Amino acid sequence: MEGQTRGVPTLFVLPFIQVVVGALLFLSLLFGQREITALTLLVFVMTGGTKLWAMKSLRGLQCRLMVDKRKMFANETLTVRVHAENGKLLPLLLQLKVAVHPTLHPSPGETVLTKETSLLWYQRFHCQWELIARRRGVHQIGPLYLFAGDPFAFFSQREKAGDSYHILVYPRLVPLKSFPLPRHDFFGCPGDKSPVNDPVYILGTRDYQPGQCAKYIHWKASARHNILQEKVFEPTKQEKLLLVVDVKQFAEANARKQFERTLEVVASLALKLDRGGHAVGLVTNGVLTGGGSSIVPVARSHRQLPALLEVLARLEMKPQMGLMEMMRSSLDLPWGISGAYFSYEEDGEIAAVEQYFTNRKTPVVFFVCHLKSSAEKERPKLRREIRRTEDLYIEALPSKPGNIFDS
């Protein structure tokens, strides 16, 4: 973008031609040729006037680059708008160029959106493009470059207007088959009818009800509200699931397609659990675009799903450390949760992960993209069955997710 210039539509703006015209003017004055003198003077006035016109063309010109959303799912449509206003008496020619990521451009391989127009005095102009996010990730739109000049397009001035937008594209949502997840009820009594509250997850506080156990009184909240408050707990039947994604195996196998498909399953499963009122968390050993933590603790709130989907959108197929090393050093695994582990294939890491969860009395289910045959390397001995990630798919077009963050 920095090296782009507009074409020269006339020879009279070239330095060599201007020297020739200047010599012709000198000779015409020397020999008294009035017609030639008038013609050469007209050329100089025209080129000088249009150059001055172009130099003033950007003054009073206001342009804004806008997008209708900054977070979206793959295959959704994004609208990019540009508003321009010529706030002066001088008309001009205007060319707009917007840099976009190749995966957002309507034409594959292109990286620039272009629009040309002419603006009269105090005239406004609006244009827009419909883009489709063909791949998840963090994609940039902008900056907006302005090329303004005289009406003859002899000269032009360039200016960068506004900042860039970073568009967060979540993984594509896919329909999933129903399958039983491993459950771990902390007190072994199902449902809301359990006589014992689960002390692991606190939903909030409420006014103290007479007859409730005094150990559930929230003393800090009581002091703040100047009235006794008691803790409100989540029911024990609520599923609390930790999603684990091992990036290292995908990177070693260079399995980009399988990696993206796995993230689609993880995102769809997280959405399904969140809409079902369950608590969900995520841990992965991959590097995030722009930095940040790759661990989302298990919880249930209106901020949980956006935080989890953002990690999946920013996740690169590049490991920052071993999965077990990260889990042992950074993961605080609470009681009463279950685990779902996703990786590329069976290896010794799966046995280590199962041992890690077994030591913490946490059930876990394993999903891999590639199952080893009996003729291949001996499988790790696991207590639980290993399933294929592809078996979770329903071969049908997914419905539009809509705005899942309204609730």
pLDDT beyond 60 at 234: no
348-359 and 323-330 helices, crossing angle to 10°: 20
Task: Using alpha carbons, list the distances in angstroms from residue 292 to 169, 227, 287, 298, 307.
Answer: 17, 40, 9, 17, 11
The residues, any chain, with a CB within 8 Å of residue 186's CB and separated by 6 or more, are 198, 200, 236, 335, 336
Q: Indicate if 252 and 368 belong to the same structural domain.
A: yes
Report the domain count for the chain: 4
Q: Indicate if 250 and 379 belong to the same structural domain.
A: yes
Q: Indicate if 312 and 253 belong to the same structural domain.
A: yes
- pLDDT tens across 103-128, in order? 888 887 788 999 999 899 999 999 99
Q: Indicate if 244 and 367 belong to the same structural domain.
A: yes
CATH assignment of the domain containing 325: 3.40.50.410
**In a domain? residue 22:** yes
Q: Indicate if 265 and 319 belong to the same structural domain.
A: yes
Q: Check if the beta carbon of residue 106 is closer than 8 Å to that of residue 76.
A: no
Tokens of 218: 């929230």
Q: Which residue has the tokens 């997280």?
A: 270
The residues, any chain, with a CB within 8 Å of residue 308's CB and separated by 6 or more, are 243, 270, 280, 281, 282, 296
In this predicted structure, what is the pLDDT of residue 194? 44
**In a domain? residue 196:** no
d(CA 82, CA 72): 20
Partners of residue 217 on adjacent β-strands: 230
d(CA 25, CA 35): 10
Q: Which residue has the tokens 């003033």?
A: 56
Q: Would you state the torsion angle of the CA atoms of residues 253, 258, 262, 264, taken in this order, to the nearest 10 degrees?
A: 140
Q: Indicate if 261 and 377 belong to the same structural domain.
A: yes
Share of the chain above pLDDT 90, in %: 25
pLDDT beyond 60 at 403: no
- pLDDT tens across 263-295, in order? 999 999 999 888 888 889 999 999 999 888 888
Q: Is residue 256 very low, low, confident or very high in pLDDT (cuts 50, 70, 90)?
A: very high
Q: Which amino acid is at 71?
A: K
Q: Indicate if 27 and 155 belong to the same structural domain.
A: no
Which of 404, 388, 349 lies closest to 179 in space, CA to CA? 388
Q: Which amino acid is at 397?
A: L
Tokens of 109: 């391989």
Burial class for 180, CB neighbours closer than 10 Å (0-12, 13-18, 19+): exposed
Q: Indicate if 100 and 163 belong to the same structural domain.
A: yes
Its domain, for residue 93, covers 61-170
Share the mean pLDDT of the chain: 79
Instruction: Give the three-state DSSP class for 13.
Output: helix
Q: Which amino acid is at 167?
A: I
Q: What is the DSSP string of 176-209?
A: B---PPP---TTS--STT-SS--TT-EEEEEEPP
Mean pLDDT of 202-224: 75
Mean pLDDT of 18-32: 71
Q: What is the DSSP string of 301-314?
A: STTHHHHHHHHHHH
Spell 271-286 as b/e; 16+ CB within 10 A means b.
Answer: bebbeeebbbbbbbbb
Q: Indicate if 32 and 101 belong to the same structural domain.
A: no
**In a domain? residue 406:** no
Q: Is residue 393 very low, low, confident or very high in pLDDT (cuts 50, 70, 90)?
A: confident
Which of 256, 230, 271, 259 lies closest to 404 in space, CA to CA? 271
The pTM for the full model equals 0.72
In this predicted structure, what is the pLDDT of residue 191? 38
pLDDT beyond 70 at 305: yes
pLDDT beyond 60 at 375: no
**In a domain? residue 33:** yes
Please, what sign has the CA dihedral across residues 360, 262, 130, 165?
positive
Tokens of 244: 């684990």
Burial class for 332, CB neighbours closer than 10 Å (0-12, 13-18, 19+): exposed
**In a domain? residue 38:** yes
Is the pLDDT higher at 352 or at 184?
352
pLDDT beyond 60 at 396: no
Length of the chain: 407
**In a domain? residue 356:** yes
In this predicted structure, what is the pLDDT of residue 277? 81
Q: Indicate if 208 and 261 belong to the same structural domain.
A: no
Give ∠ CA 388-277-271 in degrees, rounded to 5.
45
Which of 373, 386, 365, 121 lies closest to 244 in space, CA to CA? 365
- pLDDT tens across 41-88, in order? 777 767 777 778 878 888 888 999 999 999 999 889 999 999 999 999
In this predicted structure, what is the pLDDT of residue 8? 52
Q: Indicate if 109 and 37 belong to the same structural domain.
A: no
Tokens of 268: 């769809």
Q: Indicate if 324 and 225 belong to the same structural domain.
A: no
In this predicted structure, what is the pLDDT of residue 21? 63
Mean pLDDT is highest, among 146-155, 195-204, 389-398, for: 146-155
- DSSP 8-state class, residue 368: E
d(CA 175, CA 398): 6
Q: What is the DSSP string of 77-138?
A: EEEEEEEEEE-SS--EEEEEEEEE-TTTSSSTT--EEEEEEEE-TT-EEEEEEEEE--S-EE
Mean pLDDT is highest, among 5-14, 109-118, 223-232, 349-358, for: 109-118
pLDDT beyond 90 at 153: no
The residues, any chain, with a CB within 8 Å of residue 181's CB and separated by 6 or more, are 239, 241, 338, 340, 365
Mean pLDDT of 229-255: 79
